[in-house]
Structure 1
Amino acid sequence: MKVVVDEDKCVAAGQCVSAAADVFDQREEDGIVVLLEESPPADVADDVRTAAAMCPALAIRIQE
């Protein structure tokens, strides 16, 4: 699994951090998504998929 984020699409809702805090964070100054782990381990794959599905701006893509 590879995770790709589009910071330009991000609306700083924070749903990704709620779903997968080991993989996503937010910048302090504006809340835009920060990708912590481009290739997360298999044990958090479901959380990452949930984060992508919950993103209101569709700023997270997953490449299997």
Structure 2
Amino acid sequence: MTGSGAVAFLVLLLAATRARVIATNVLQRITHRLVAVIAMRAMNVVMVMVVIVVAVGTMYVGLLTHLGTTPE
């Protein structure tokens, strides 16, 4: 069985909750924190991609304007 460590951890916590080892609200808090971490990582990746696209676009426009001018 393959999967991420976070998913395996959630499955373990779910089994412990069903066995009444830990309370349901503890599972809810842990799940909320894991989802928040995953969402922040996804947002960081999106922001890095936006910065890269803007930087490449700026360099491309700068190169086009530089090549478009004729030195006298």
Scaled by the length of structure 1, the TM-score of the pair is 0.30
Larger proportion of strand: 1
Name the larger-Rg structure. 2
Larger proportion of helix: 2
Scaled by the length of structure 2, the TM-score of the pair is 0.28
